[in-house]
Chains A and B, each alone.
Chain A
Amino acid sequence: MIKAILIFNNHGKPRLIRFYQYFAEDLQQQIIRETFHLVSKRDDNVCNFLEGGSLIGGSDYKLIYRHYATLYFVFCVDSSESELGILDLIQVFVETLDKCFENVCELDLIFHMDKVHYILQEVVMGGMVLETNMNEIVAQVEVQTRMEKSEVKLSRPSG
């Protein structure tokens, strides 16, 4: 099971946070800081697995992360997930974002945080891997976007 998905930049500013287990808000921010602290210390040529920090839970949890340009994508998982599989999943997620946003960059994530959440919802649901086929994910996201757009057109806000 995936316990949390965190995306933050090289300075530790969160760009997307998704917890699949309940944590109080201040604890969430603490976890983000601790994870950033652990991950930012790492060189670029070491392995992508970290025995996790103390806050996010016991000995069974690992942090699996990937560093793309200015962003860290961190998945906190337990032993029921294959480590290499999650690494590949992060790749799939990023490539999907790339397809949806057309050459995605950090600003896209900043200004369209809700959209990123909706995309993520098609990949991971309730802490479990839902869909790994990139084309399928992109197709579904597009249908839903169109639905929302058409609704907006039909009922333009009067204010």
Chain B
Amino acid sequence: MSPSVPLQEMIRAIRSARTQCEERGVIQRECAAIRAQFRQADNGGRSHNLAKLLYVHMLGYPAHFGQMECVRMIASPRYSEKRVGYLGAMMLLDEKQDASLLITNSIKNDLAHSNQYVQSLALCTLACMGSAEMCRDLAPEIDRLLRASNSYIKKKAALCAVHIVRKVHELGELFAPAARSLLSEKNHGVLHGAVVLIIELCERNPETLERFRKTVPDLVQIMKGLVLSGYSPEHDVAGISDPFLQVRILRLLRILGRNNEGASDAMNDLLAQVATNTDSTKTVGNAVLYETVLTVLDIKSESGLRVLAVNILGRFLLNNDRNIRYIAMTSLQKIVGTDHNAVQRHRGTIVDCLKDQDASVKRRALELSLALVSASNIRSMMKELLLFLSSCPPELRAHAASGIFNAAERYAPSQRWHIDTMLHVLITAGGDVRDETVPNLIQLITNASELHCYTVHKLYRALLADISQQSLVQVACWCIGEYGDLLLRGDCQETEPVQVTEDDALDALETVLQSHMSSPATRGFALTATMKLSTRITDNVDRIRSIVSIYGSCIDVELQQRAVEYNALFKKYDHMRYAMKNYGRIRVTFTEPRFEYMCSHCLLLPLSVGGLKVCDLLDLLGGSEETLQPSPAFGGTAPGPSVNTAGGDLLDLLGGLELTPLAPGVTLRVTHTHTHTTDPVPVYDKGGVTLTLSCEKQSDTGLTVTLTASNATDSDISSFTLQAAVPKSVQLHMKAPSGDSLPARGTAKVTQMVVLNNPNKVNLKMRVRVSYTRLGSAFQDTVQIDSFPGLDAAGR
């Protein structure tokens, strides 16, 4: 072999560098020398320089300055230079670079060269990096080479044609006839190339596939020759005659036989022969057997053959060689849909593979196990899967958890089993489950009413053990809040009784609230649960009150808002708190924890006992499964969050002032029982509609404003809504209005409460927009309120 001494010297120099920095130095010097040499005229050592550059490129250093040199070398008449030039082109160039266009001409010339090795260089380069234009240009030349050249060139031309067809699909037509005739070649390399080409053509074009179906008998003949012929020394690999070609032909047969009875029939006998005669003690034999099995399972084969194929796969599963087991499971995965029963027979082995040390085998086994779960084997399979979950590699956990959930949902034999399973998953892999798991589990628990006691006890124990798994903690908090009374009562038939005092339960919730491991969402759950417990316990209400008020100054805005409102519930509507207790139970479905918060938020409206219509609340909770967002909804008759209205143009109208969205509209016909406010001051009077305003100072910066509207005209007013805007630094929070219709002659009023917070103590102003419908036409008006009763002139 021709020693490239300069190349070897450079490699030695690089290797002797002891540090990365030293190596970089050596390489920089070498590159500089190479660059200088490139600029010189033709010298004898050009190929060495390019070879050096390619070595440096492999180590990861930039080598783009060699691109033009490659082009020059390719054009050289000397074989050694052409060779390394083409290699450089394949390594450094691709069709996106301009330099690649320059070699098109050289390739064209070299394809017609007298020396076959030069031709082969050109073919190789074209197959690696030929652009669409190059391919179009040179396709006829390749076709010529496919027909009339020696076998060395023919096999290369065949693969080059594959690349051309990939780049320019229409040219497939051009190569089809040549490909067909190549099947009668004797040389295995050419045959192999031809089969690859035909596979590519058939996969691209269904019509070509139809035409090539006629070649099935020829292919069968060739295979028979390979399988049944005696020992042929030149093609023998461990006793099998050219296993690579066999595998390739089997793949083509699979494509041709798919969905076609005639073709499948023609190859049935052959496949049976290969399946039974191939020696499976060596890897090469297994490769052929494996391909045969895949082909049998993919075409329309007769049932006896299918059974044979699945049995071969079963044998593979028991093979000691892990590779064989891996591919057996891959192919079983493909047929588990169609031949489910056949695969079920091997369930035991597959489940054993879950315990294999090899991560790839484990992954395959997991996929297959999940596919094999059915109503009859759910209990035993779930045991295995849960065992797997506790010891599985981290990258498979999420997939395993979601698979287990799906299986549990479809085949759960009892509700208790279902809940137990889901809890087990949350305890083991709570960090990897998807977000919908928490609401789904909550819904499940709600529906299993007889298991509430059992569930809450179990969750409480789980919470005590570990508060790091967020999903588990969220579900546990929700349950403790919801079924706290069952927990405290202590008697439960299904689990060991344990005495839980109110303090214990509150301790648990407080731990969650304070732990740094809890996410904001989890804290929200815990806070709501604490609040709910206030109605279910008797002794420790003060403790709850203090917990809640602490969070009134929490940094997290969401939490702060909740805490403030719960606080308000304590302070002002203490007698109403108990009403909340019942409304928790009415819940039907919801998909987000915020929804629950919104319910209690609505209930902060002053309500008279009995005045609240339960069914209205149900309307709100019932059909709506969308996540509630505080969208700018008008307090109209339509409940639910689907009203996404023109909050935008209000902003334009009020320009510059901050607009906050209203709470979701709830139609509650309530009476106003608000007290200790200032006397109402009229702020708007037009067209018979009057608006009065009264204020109540909550704190140094907080203010509650109540707007009361009445209608003095002779006709009813409907769709009455108010919107408010305040200066930027002021926080505004509008409660739901008491209603939206003003009957004529002032027989009833509409009240709207607005909570303001003015931390910067700016000059308080408010712009209110009034809109309503009267006598079939819509009215809209705006009023600016600059002074508030109860506040001094500066609005403070």
Give me the interface of A with B, judged by CB distance under 8 Å: 14, 16-18, 20, 22, 25-26, 28-29, 43, 45-51, 80, 82-85, 87-89, 110-115, 117-118, 121, 125-133, 135-136, 140, 143-145, 147-149, 151-152, 155-159
Contact = CB atoms under 8 A, between A and B. Distances in A.
A114 B128 contact: no
B159 A125 contact: yes
B284 A130 contact: no
Contacts of A43: 357-358
Contacts of A16: 58
Nearest to B8: A111
Given A43-B357, A125-B156, A147-B79, A82 B84 contact: no
Given A88-B243, A114-B7, A22 B94 contact: yes
Interface string B49-67: 0010011011110110000
Given A17-B58, A125-B124, A155-B44, A114 B323 contact: no
B72 interface: no
Contacts of B284: 88
Contact of A29 (B60, B322, B361): B60
Contacts of A118: 83, 87
Interface in B161-197: 162-163, 188-189, 192-193, 196
B114 interface: no
B189 A133 contact: yes
Contacts of A50: 360
B497 interface: no
A84 B290 contact: yes
27 contacts: A20-B128, A46-B357, A46-B360, A46-B361, A47-B360, A49-B360, A82-B247, A82-B251, A82-B291, A84-B287, A85-B243, A85-B244, A88-B243, A89-B244, A111-B7, A112-B1, A126-B124, A126-B159, A128-B127, A130-B189, A131-B155, A133-B242, A135-B234, A148-B80, A151-B80, A152-B2, A155-B78
Interface residues of B, number: 77
A157 B51 contact: no
Chain B interface main SS type: helix
A29 B117 CA distance: 32
Given A48-B323, A50-B360, A132 B244 contact: yes
B544 to A, nearest CB: 49
Contacts of B330: 83
3 closest pairs, A vs B, by CB? A157-B44, A126-B127, A84-B287
Contacts of B15: 110
A148 to B, nearest CB: 5
Contacts of B290: 82, 84
Given A45-B322, A83-B327, A88-B244, A133 B234 contact: yes
A142 B8 CA distance: 21
B749 interface: no
B237 interface: yes
B307 interface: no
Contacts of A151: 78-80
A135 B87 CA distance: 23
B147 to A, nearest CB: 19
Interface string B351-365: 000000111110100
A117 B88 CA distance: 11
A88 B283 contact: yes
A25 B196 contact: no
A82 B163 CA distance: 19
A157 B159 contact: no
A22 B763 CA distance: 65
Given A45-B322, A132-B245, A136-B189, 8 more contacts: A46-B358, A47-B361, A51-B360, A83-B330, A126-B127, A126-B159, A132-B242, A133-B242
Given A130-B189, A152-B80, A143 B96 contact: no
B376 interface: no
Contacts of A18: 91
A117 B92 CA distance: 14
B286 interface: yes
A20 B2 CA distance: 27
Contacts of A29: 60
A158 B46 CA distance: 12
Given A50-B360, A132-B244, A133-B189, A113 B55 contact: yes
A39 to B, nearest CB: 12
B94 A84 contact: no
Nearest to A134: B237
A51 B363 contact: yes
Nearest to A22: B94
Nearest to B326: A47
A128 B155 contact: no
Interface in B300-327: 322-327
Given A148-B2, A152-B2, A84 B323 contact: yes
A156 B80 CA distance: 12
A144 B51 CA distance: 17
B4 interface: yes
| Most chain A CB within a 10 A radius of its CB, from B1, B80, B326 | B1
Nearest to B244: A132
Contacts of A143: 117
Contacts of A121: 87, 124
B58 to A, nearest CB: 6
B566 to A, nearest CB: 46
Nearest to B359: A46
Interface in B193-215: 193, 196, 199
Contacts of A156: 44
A159 B63 CA distance: 25
